[in-house]
Amino acid sequence: MAASPLVRREARRFHLFALPWTIGFVFFTGGPIIVSLVLSFTRYELLSAPEWVGLDNYVQLLRDPDFWVATRNTIYFGAASATAGVVYSLAAALLLNIKLRGQAIFRTIIYMPSVISGIATALLWIHVLHPDYGLVNYLIGLLGVQGPGWLTDASWAIPGLVIMTTWTTGNAMIIFLAGLQGVPVSLYEAAHIDGAGWWSRFRNVTVPMMSPVIFFNLVVGFIGSLQAYQLILFMTDGGPANSTLVLGLYVYRYAFKYFEMGYASTIAWALFFLVIVFTVIQFGLARRWVHYEVK
């Protein structure tokens, strides 16, 4: 079957326009993925050539107690941060969806933290979460409760980080907001005529109609926070007592502190595996609660 000249010309143009991505894929994504997989079967300490060691790195990984600590922390941080983010941003989106005067200003203010999140705000949160002089414990103190040692106490370090990440979940919030505007008003009116109160309308209209969006934000948030380590590296560097050592950070440590590129790659693949497992689990659970409209 000979394609017409027009079709071929369009295909040529497609390849030309897609070229930046194609080159990027070969050199910065696809190629590196293959290299990384190969490296995970080698011992490579930069000074000499990589040495093939078969499954040794993977065996070592399974016996590495810090790897299991990091895995546990990663799951804990990922689940807590994704859940808190979804709950907070859904609540915020519901509020921001009500027609009120000044709503645009509220949207800007509540969204702002997500734009500015970065090293400068990490520095801010080190201060805000300071056990003695920080804002959070000061506010808790006003309620008569002695706040814990956020970031300094092994059992409160991850919760402290979760408070910070929840502060920056604006993107999920905006996606919820877009989703809420797609829920037909007629459903609320019907529920209201049936005498449903706001909680019942929320449970029986908003949640089912929004479940695909909730699912999307949950999965994306989970995938993102399983890999997060930039701020953790800066704020706690895995401490205290490895309580915030996550897999992303563990990869960084082996690669750029110990310069064991092979083992670092092995840890990275373990992280990838973890991301896949949790994504598959979430898709499996989704069948029980995510409601897609039948078109």
Identify residues 204-233 at the interface with other proteins (CB under 8 A). Answer: 205-206, 213, 216, 223, 226-227, 229-230, 233
Q: For residues 7 and 42, give the distance between their C-alpha atoms in angstroms, rounded to a whole number.
A: 46
Q: Under 8 Å CB-to-CB from 100, ≥6 apart: which residues?
A: 106
Question: Toward other proteins, which CB reaches closer, 118 or 145?
Answer: 118
Pick the binder of other proteins from 13, 72, 155, 241 (CB under 8 A): 13
Position 10 contacts other proteins (CB under 8 A): yes
DSSP 53: -
Shortest CB 62 distance to other proteins, Å: 19
Question: Toward other proteins, which CB reaches closer, 118 or 281?
Answer: 118
CB atoms within 10 A of CB 249: 22
Position 234 contacts other proteins (CB under 8 A): yes
Nearest CA to 270 out of 79, 40, 29, 32 is that of 40
Question: Toward other proteins, which CB reaches closer, 32 or 68?
Answer: 32
Q: For residues 189 and 201, give the distance between their C-alpha atoms in angstroms, rounded to a whole number.
A: 10
Sign of CA dihedral 258, 263, 266, 270: negative
Pick the binder of other proteins from 69, 75, 121, 149 (CB under 8 A): 121
Q: Which stretch binds other proteins (CB under 8 A): 62-70, 143-151, 153-161, 173-181?
A: 173-181
Position 179 contacts other proteins (CB under 8 A): yes
Q: For residues 1 and 289, give the distance between their C-alpha atoms in angstroms, rounded to a whole number.
A: 47
Question: Toward other proteins, which CB reaches closer, 2 or 98?
Answer: 98
Q: For residues 237 and 188, give the distance between their C-alpha atoms in angstroms, rounded to a whole number.
A: 49
Pick the binder of other proteins from 49, 133, 287, 295 (CB under 8 A): 133
Position 70 contacts other proteins (CB under 8 A): no
Question: Toward other proteins, which CB reaches closer, 267 or 290?
Answer: 267
Of residues 15-34, those binding other proteins (CB under 8 A):
15, 17-25, 27-33
Q: How far is CA 201 from CA 67, 163, 185, 194, 289, in A?
A: 46, 29, 11, 10, 17
